[in-house]
Copies of this chain bind each other. A is one copy, B any other.
Amino acid sequence: MARLVLKFGGTSMADPERIAASAAIAAHEAGNGHQIAVVVSAMAGETDRYLSCAQALGGGLGEVETDTALAAGEQAASALMALALKERGLQARSILAWQLPMEADGAAGTARITAINPALLEACLEEGVIPVVAGFQGISPDGRLVTLGRGGTDLSAAAIAAAIGADCDIYTDVDGVFTTDPRIEPSARRVARISHDEMLELAAMGAKVLQTRSVEYAKAKGVALSVKSSFAPPGMSAGTEVVTESALAERRVVSGIAYTRAQARIAVPGLEDSNAAPAGVFAALAEAGVHVDMIVQGRARSGGHNLEFSVDGRDLKAALGALRPFSAVAHETGLAKVSVVGTGLRGRADIARTLYGVLESHAIPVRMVATSEIKISALVDEDGLERAVRALHAAYRLDEA
C-alpha cells in the first residue's frame, strides 16, 4: 500500500465548494488504495487579511506575533478539510503543528523545520484516519508558533512526506509545469517530467508553482514530488513529476522558457580597479535587503570598472537609497528577464549563440546576459518580452511532443 501526501494550496481551499472538490480528490486517492495524508494552506486571501491587520498594529513579517496570527488561517483550513473528508464518509482529523509536534527553528517568518515526530501521523494511518496537517507552521524551541515563509505549506508537505515515507502530490490551480506561460504562447505544453534543478530554476524564475525550498528539501530527502491541478476532476490531472536528473529517460536540451517582468537595471560606473569596490556595492545592497540578480562587470575605457546588475523593480527604491554613497549611479526600468532552462544546457557551447541569434532575428536588443549550469537568461525591454518568449519557445521546438 503506497503512501501519498496531498497538499492543497490557497486556491484549492478558497471556499467551502473548493474545499469539498479538493476533498473529493483525496477521497479518490484513498479509494485507489493509498494511505493518504493531507497538508493544507489557509483559504485564499486569509493570510493577507491577517497580515494587513498585523501590519496596521505595527507587526511586520519576521515577528513571532505576526506568525501566530498568520498560522490561524492554516489551523482553520485543516479543520475545514477534515470536516469535508468526514462529510464524504471518510475518517479524518486535523493536526496542528503543536499536536505532532512539528519542530522548527526560531526564525519567525522564515523558519526551517528541524524535526517532525511522526507518531500521531502513524497512529492515524494505522487506524484508517486521514491526518489533515495545518501547513506553513512549526513550533520554535521556546514553544511559539512560527511560520515557514510564503509558500511554506509546500515545505510542510515535503517534510511530512519524508517523515512517513510517502510520495508528495502538490495540488495547485494549474495542471503542472508548462514549457512556458500558455497566456503568452498558446502552444505551450505540459512537461510530464522535470528534474529538481529545472524545477528550481522555473520556480525561482516566476513559474511560481512550487516553493523553492520545498524542491530543495524533496531533492535532499529523496521525496518524489508531483504538481497537479485540483481544478481537474479527481484522478484527471496528469501533472508534472519532479524526478532526479538521472531518472529523466529521454532528455530534451531545453525544458522551458521562463520570464520575470518589471526588472530594473542599475549601473555603477568608475569603480576603483580592485575587488573591494564591487564588494562595497553589494554589501550596501545586502544590508538594504536588496536581492541582486544578474551581474555584469566590465573594464571602463577610462580605467577602473563599470558594474551593472539587475534587481526586481519593487527593490529599485531601496537599492538606489543604499547606493547614495556612490557617484554617477544610473538606472533604467521597463525591463524583463527571459530565461531558457534545461538540464541539457550543461556544457553546450551553442546556447548563447542561439539565444542571441533568435533575439537578434526578432529585433529584440539584449541588455544583459547571465548563465548558470542549466539556464541562460537575457534582460530585454519589457515590451519585447512576449515576442522573445514566443520566439525562443519556437526555436527550441517546445511545442512539439
55-73 of chain A: CB within 8 A of chain B? 56-59, 63, 65-69, 71-73
CB <8 Å contact, A66 and B83: yes
Q: How many copies of this chain are found per oligomer?
A: 2
A219 vs B304: C-alpha distance in the bound complex, in angstroms? 82
A86 vs B15: C-alpha distance in the bound complex, in angstroms? 34
* CB nearest to A60 among chain B residues: B83
The answer to the question of A53 belonging to the interface, with a C-beta cut-off of 8 Å to chain B, is: yes
Which among B56, B65, B69, B75 is the interface contact of A93 at CB below 8 angstroms?
B65
CB <8 Å contact, B54 and A80: yes
A98 vs B93: C-alpha distance in the bound complex, in angstroms? 18
Minimum distance in angstroms from A135 CB to a CB of chain B: 14
CB <8 Å contact, B68 and A94: yes
Which among B56, B65, B98 is the interface contact of A16 at CB below 8 angstroms?
B56
A86 vs B99: C-alpha distance in the bound complex, in angstroms? 28
- 10 residue pairs bridging A and B, Cβ less than 8 Å apart: A19-B53, A50-B76, A54-B79, A57-B80, A59-B87, A66-B83, A69-B83, A72-B73, A72-B79, A73-B76
Apart from A16-B56, A59-B87, A65-B82, what are 20 other A-B pairs with CB-CB below 8 Å? A16-B53, A19-B57, A20-B57, A53-B80, A57-B83, A57-B87, A58-B86, A58-B87, A59-B80, A59-B86, A65-B83, A65-B86, A68-B75, A68-B94, A69-B75, A71-B75, A72-B76, A73-B76, A96-B145, A98-B98
